Amino acid sequence: MIQWPEFHQHPGEVDKERVLTKISHRNIAFSQLLLPGEFLSDELIKACRLHGLKSAGVNLVGGFLEDFEFCLGQKDPTVHNKINYRPPQKESAAVMLICANANIGIGEDGELLVHCHGLVSSHKGVPIGGHFVADKIRIYKQPVTAFFTGLVGAGFRQMYDGEVTHSIFKPATL
Q: For residue 79, what pLDDT band results from cuts at 50, 70 and 90?
A: low
Whether the predicted pLDDT of 85 surpasses 80 = no
C-alpha 158/C-alpha 169 separation (Å) is 4
pLDDT tens sequence across 132-154: 999 999 999 999 999 999 999 99
Domains in the chain, please, with CATH?
A: 26-173 (3.30.1330.80)
Q: For residue 39, what pLDDT band results from cuts at 50, 70 and 90?
A: very high
Burial class (CB in 10 A: 0-12, 13-18, 19+), 71: middle
Which residues have a Cβ under 8 Å from the Cβ of 15 and sit 6 or more positions away? 161, 162, 163
Lowest-pLDDT range, 2-16, 24-38, 52-66, 96-110? 2-16
pLDDT tens sequence across 44-76: 999 999 999 999 999 999 999 999 999 987 766
Burial class (CB in 10 A: 0-12, 13-18, 19+), 19: exposed
